[in-house]
Amino acid sequence: MNRKRQAVLYSLVGQVFCKQLCRGRRHKRMVTEIEQIIEILHKKTAPCCRSRYSAAV
């Protein structure tokens, strides 16, 4: 799965996708990539908010 698809899936289903990733072997690496994508999205959409992941919720 490429990063673009991960970003789309995570923004659509949020925690559900994260729980599915927990079952995989590459969980840690994939979650790190998703966190980076969310941080970039957050900076673009909600730079004033305190919460790190508020843009994805």
Q: Which residue has the tokens 């990063």?
A: 3
Reported pTM: 0.32
**19: nearest Cα among 32, 8, 31, 3:** 31
Residue 35 is predicted with a pLDDT of 76
Cα–Cα–Cα angle for 3, 49, 57, nearest 5°?
45
Domain encompassing residue 14: 3-56
**Each residue's pLDDT tens digit, 3-52:** 555 554 555 445 555 555 555 555 566 667 777 777 777 666 555 555 55
Cα separation, 3 vs 36, in Å, equals 10
Q: How many domains does the chain have?
A: 1
At which residue do the structure tokens 């079952």 appear? Answer: 23
